[in-house]
A and B are shown apart, each in its own frame.
Chain A
Amino acid sequence: MRKVKNRTLLAALSLALLLPAVAAAQADTGSADFSRFVAMGDSLGAGFMSGSLHEGGQRNSWPSLIYQQVNGSAAGFEQPLVSSPGIPGILELRSLVPLVIAPAAGFGNPNNLTLPRPYDNLSVPGFTMGDASQTVTGNPVIDVVLRGLGTQLQQTAFLQPSFVALWLGSNDVLGAALSGVAIEGVTLTPVNDFAVALATVGQTLEAVGVQQGAIATIPNVTSVPFVTTLPPVVVDPAGNPVVIDGQFIPLIAETSTGVRPLGPGDFVLLTATAELAQGRGVPPPLGNAGPLSTFVVLDRDEVAAIQARVDELNALIRQAAQDSGAALVDVNAIFDEVVAEGLNIGGIEYSADFLTGGLFSLDGFHASPMGYAIIANAFIDAINATYGGSIPPVNLSRFVFGVEGQLPIGGGTLEFGELRFSRQAWRSLRKSLRLPTRKELKRALRASQRSETRRLRLSERPADRQARLEAARSGGGKLRRR
């Protein structure tokens, strides 16, 4: 009896000895110092999902997941959490046949507004690299994150982070892809401006003593389901391509080179569904409603211009990583591979397809919970490789099989009657991502034509592009060199 008692006592003692160690368990981060981890990003960093800033997406944003893998829990990582149905109301799949995706009615509430310091995840939906150092307010979503306390960069500096994860730049090219119009300075950030903005971020972080970080490349935004889902050919009401004499019938559209039939390399955006429903894009004599507007079509010249810009900006990002010694997370390369080959997880084929690909949410360009988990693992891989740590990757089973992997929904406040990818859905997305309105785009188009500057630098010779890039690099300064 006494023996048993002693044993119990011993067990209790050893438990007591073990417990503090367990509580303090932190992943081996190698030489990386995660004592103050701050994320600077855009909607992708905010965990924006299905067109909404919603705690369902935020709780497993990639910055939060990295923090969780390092510290064992999310406790202590402060984010601007927004209650369901999110801001703006989160998109929901109401029906598969016919396809109905519409936002939940109403708005969620920011639940962490009174935090007496900047958030650890300062990612702001819609932010460009330039916004990081320039923008304090502008729309409700920005205000939820920044609260008028200063720019993203100022607030990051205030926190004096030991480690910064930086993933900005997608919005420097995304506007062109989503609005179907590539205009230098309006939907595409000029290379010089981006270089200056990146250098500003680097210099400011260096000035406050930030020594470590991770920086990610910009994915090819023309490969997202928002762009790639609708076929550029006439389809019947059942969604099957119309075939005449063994040929598909190309849609006609306003393109950057005038009205013409669409062909290989041209894309019809998800936003075209309303025009398509009106019969636009169907060539005479089959249809007479006119061509699709330039705002719902991404033609091959625009795609080429966007991809060229993505490559130019990524060259700057890679250079910044090299100069600063930060871990480089090549999301661009990873996403290209997923687009080309899919991603096999335990016999499940994930892909960049809309709705059934599993990696994108219902807005067609923000990630699903699984998509963000995979991005988090890409960051963790790169951080481990650079700093010699062994932070464990996120357990994907949680997202493949568990409730964490489910697309968040609005919580019962459904609003019926929206068809397809609704105008309303698009409007709320555009607002929260700070994309230009059609009116603004038209004005910019007219202005660019008036000033006789080329709308796109399509015919730019490679040598010229190289020279411009060099100029941008040398003028743009560099992140801190170690």
Chain B
Amino acid sequence: MRTRGRSRVAVGVAMMLALLTATASHGAGFSIFEHGSKAMGMAGAFTAQADDPSAMFHNVGGLAFFDKQEFLVGLTYITQTKADFTGVDPFPGSGTTEELETLAEIPPHLYWVRPLNEKYKVGLAINAPFGLVTEWENKDTFTGRFISTKAALTVVDINPNVGIKISDRFGLGFGAILRLAEVELNRRAPLINPFTGQPNDVATVVLESDMDNGVGWQVGFLAKPTDRFSWGFSYRSTIEVDFGGDAVLTQILTGNPQLDAVVAASLPFNAGLPIATSLEFPDAASLGFAYSFTSNLLVEVDLNWTGWSSFDQVVIDFTNDDLPDETLPQNWDDANHYRLGVRYAGRRGEWRFGYVYDETPQPDEGVGPLLPDSSRNGVTVGYGWQGRLNWDLALMYLPFNTRSTSTNRDNYNGTYETVAWLLGVTVGW
């Protein structure tokens, strides 16, 4: 039985690494909060419950209370039914409409918990707490193509944890985090064509980092002062990842042979130009309170804080000075999520409902084609039942607030409208 479990874990890890070619942001900023369908059914208000192995994501303090080995494996399918941009004057102008490529991303999650004894528990979590894909359609004509045509961030956390049951009413947990991450940034490079006075696309610029890593830690506790009331707190540290990688420029011909020759002679095309960059992932804290009104009705409220002010700028250093370094200022602010979850135990299974308000950390001047973020309100419904396996399903409707900017740093102004849907499926045994 134990051997079988281990091989399942191994298969799960392999499957997940294969799936994690790209993940999509749908928590504000580029975080992803849906890493367990039970919690997701309650809009992630789970800090004070933390009673399935996804505790290692929501509040590692919950790990202390496990009394048997458990596995939990699942996927969250993320898609968008709307992801549009409408321009305003002066640029890119009223009447300009652009569309993002439809997302279809499936960040997976996988947890294993094993009690060593009554007091000490260990566990392993693998998930993707951050991720991003912003890829625009019609790249040849997209009016923001000189800013970004695609930005993608892929993250995998490998997170071993220890839980300590201090008493029947107080559990403590902590863990180490190894974060693997990869970044891709694509755009077009323009040149004013002296013959026409207008910009031409003269190159595609593809920046791809290696899969690099950073380490961090997390800690949390879960307190159950009465049989009806519980509360918890968890904190995850900042993690800095230093990336190496390369940039590849591919020439786009303008059709003017003289101009094309000048361009070909002045840019280092078709070579991997070494780059270095760095990303400081924000720290995050969660505080939650849960109360059981009856034996089958529980309500939880959570506050999550994310230290997005760590995301101040992205500096792309061309380490051989093949091209001038680039600085992409971000200057984000710390931001909160507010979550409300309800669970109701029916005769056959458990219904869950939730609501989340997720504040954007992005200032107006940063709202642009690279990463157009917005505050959002999400509502969720979930259902879980126990059979030979434990199944949890959750559905989230996540309309983003319409976000307009008139102060974009690249003078690229307009309105972004996004509606996302998420479907979570998790199975445990």
Whole-angstrom distance between the alpha carbons of A405 and B198 in the complex? Answer: 7
The answer on a CB contact under 8 Å between A358 and B94 is no
Q: CB-nearest residue of chain A relative to B194?
A: A355
Tell me the chain B residues, 34-89 only, with Cβ under 8 Å from chain A. 87, 89
The answer on a CB contact under 8 Å between A346 and B143 is yes
Whole-angstrom distance between the alpha carbons of A95 and B87 in the complex? Answer: 36
Q: If A96-B258, A96-B262 touch, does A347 touch B197 (CB 8 Å cutoff)?
A: no
The answer on a CB contact under 8 Å between A395 and B93 is yes
> Does B410 sit at the interface, judged by CB under 8 A?
yes
The answer on a CB contact under 8 Å between A346 and B412 is yes
> Does A393 sit at the interface, judged by CB under 8 A?
yes
> Does A40 sit at the interface, judged by CB under 8 A?
no
> Does A398 sit at the interface, judged by CB under 8 A?
yes
Tell me the chain A residues, 378-416 only, with Cβ under 8 Å from chain B. 392-401, 405-407
Residues in A whose Cβ lies below 8 Å from that of B293: none
Total interface residues on A, using CB and 8 Å? 35
Whole-angstrom distance between the alpha carbons of A406 and B193 in the complex? Answer: 10
Residues in B whose Cβ lies below 8 Å from that of A123: none
> Does B305 sit at the interface, judged by CB under 8 A?
no
The answer on a CB contact under 8 Å between A397 and B96 is yes
Residues in A whose Cβ lies below 8 Å from that of B258: 95-97
> Does B92 sit at the interface, judged by CB under 8 A?
yes
The answer on a CB contact under 8 Å between B259 and A396 is no
Whole-angstrom distance between the alpha carbons of A472 and B409 in the complex? Answer: 42
> Does B11 sit at the interface, judged by CB under 8 A?
no
The answer on a CB contact under 8 Å between A347 and B87 is no
Q: If A97-B261, A392-B89 touch, does A405 touch B197 (CB 8 Å cutoff)?
A: yes
The answer on a CB contact under 8 Å between A395 and B94 is yes
Whole-angstrom distance between the alpha carbons of A349 and B139 in the complex? Answer: 19
Q: How extensive is the interface on chain B, given as a class? A: 20 to 34
Whole-angstrom distance between the alpha carbons of A315 and B94 in the complex? Answer: 37
The answer on a CB contact under 8 Å between B410 and A344 is yes
Residues in B whose Cβ lies below 8 Å from that of A10: none
> Does B160 sit at the interface, judged by CB under 8 A?
no
Residues in B whose Cβ lies below 8 Å from that of A394: 89-90
Q: If A97-B261, A347-B190, A361-B197 touch, does A397 touch B92 (CB 8 Å cutoff)?
A: yes
- Of B94, B96, B259, B410, which is within 8 A of A347 by CB? B410
> Does B166 sit at the interface, judged by CB under 8 A?
no
> Does A350 sit at the interface, judged by CB under 8 A?
yes
> Does B397 sit at the interface, judged by CB under 8 A?
no
The answer on a CB contact under 8 Å between A393 and B90 is yes
The answer on a CB contact under 8 Å between B144 and A347 is yes
The answer on a CB contact under 8 Å between B144 and A346 is yes
Q: CB-nearest residue of chain A relative to B189?
A: A347
The answer on a CB contact under 8 Å between B146 and A346 is yes
- Of A349, A377, A405, which is within 8 A of B90 by CB? A377
User: B-facing mask of A354-388, CB < 8 A → 1, else 0?
Assistant: 01111001000000111001000100000000000
> Does B147 sit at the interface, judged by CB under 8 A?
yes
Residues in A whose Cβ lies below 8 Å from that of B93: 395-398
Residues in B whose Cβ lies below 8 Å from that of A347: 144-147, 187, 190, 410, 412
Tell me the chain B residues, 195-243 only, with Cβ under 8 Å from chain A. 195-199
Whole-angstrom distance between the alpha carbons of A97 and B145 in the complex? Answer: 29
Q: If A346-B146, A347-B144 touch, does A396 touch B191 (CB 8 Å cutoff)?
A: no
The answer on a CB contact under 8 Å between A346 and B147 is yes
> Does A11 sit at the interface, judged by CB under 8 A?
no
Residues in A whose Cβ lies below 8 Å from that of B92: 346, 396-397, 400
The answer on a CB contact under 8 Å between B192 and A350 is yes
Whole-angstrom distance between the alpha carbons of A369 and B191 in the complex? Answer: 16
Whole-angstrom distance between the alpha carbons of A399 and B92 in the complex? Answer: 10
Q: CB-nearest residue of chain A relative to B265?
A: A97
Q: If A96-B194, A405-B197 touch, does A400 touch B262 (CB 8 Å cutoff)?
A: no
> Does A243 sit at the interface, judged by CB under 8 A?
no
- Of B190, B196, B261, which is within 8 A of A406 by CB? B196
Residues in B whose Cβ lies below 8 Å from that of A406: 196-198
> Does B91 sit at the interface, judged by CB under 8 A?
yes
Q: CB-nearest residue of chain B relative to A97?
A: B258
Residues in B whose Cβ lies below 8 Å from that of A361: 197
> Does A93 sit at the interface, judged by CB under 8 A?
yes
- Of B90, B197, B261, B410, which is within 8 A of A369 by CB? B197
Q: List 18 A-B contacts (CB under 8 A).
A: A93-B194, A345-B91, A346-B143, A346-B410, A346-B411, A356-B191, A358-B192, A393-B90, A394-B89, A394-B90, A395-B90, A396-B92, A396-B93, A397-B91, A397-B96, A398-B93, A400-B198, A405-B197
A contacts, CB < 8 Å to B: 93, 95-97, 343-350, 355-358, 361, 368-370, 373, 377, 392-401, 405-407
8 closest pairs, A vs B, by CB? A347-B146, A395-B93, A355-B194, A397-B93, A347-B147, A358-B192, A407-B197, A393-B90
- Given A93-B194, A347-B144; 13 other pairs, CB 8 A cutoff: A343-B411, A344-B411, A345-B91, A348-B146, A348-B192, A356-B192, A361-B197, A373-B90, A395-B90, A397-B92, A400-B198, A401-B198, A405-B196
